[in-house]
Structure 1
């Protein structure tokens, strides 16, 4: 029972660390609440979007833009 919970915790921790690291590389911070709201779209999708946005330096509101992309992912055909 504990091992299953440990794997889930480690996966979530790894996702959180990766997402926050990507955000810091782009010059902004992500709160745990924002990450929790993004996570409903899938951890892998969030990381892919963060990596795609990393290459667009002229974005002024990263969190708003990423949230928009995640909420409208069918329209923009974000590829995994």
Structure 2
């Protein structure tokens, strides 16, 4: 499965930066829906209400998904890869 990767940087409530990627099927082009996925993730991390727009979340590239990403997308419609500042 080919996925689009959206590189995302969000300022946490404590002022630190969260960097994560939102991965969606490559044919999904609805940016509002992709941002909704990011906001769902932020809520799970206790960061609800933080801005998430095209300023924070931008298309980066398309890649082939591994099995874990495919399973996440099948179950939830998207997958998150945590890069930095996501578990503090």
TM bucket (normalised to shorter chain) is 0.3 to 0.5
Structure with the largest fraction of helix: 1
Larger radius of gyration: 1
TM-score normalised to the size of structure 1? 0.35
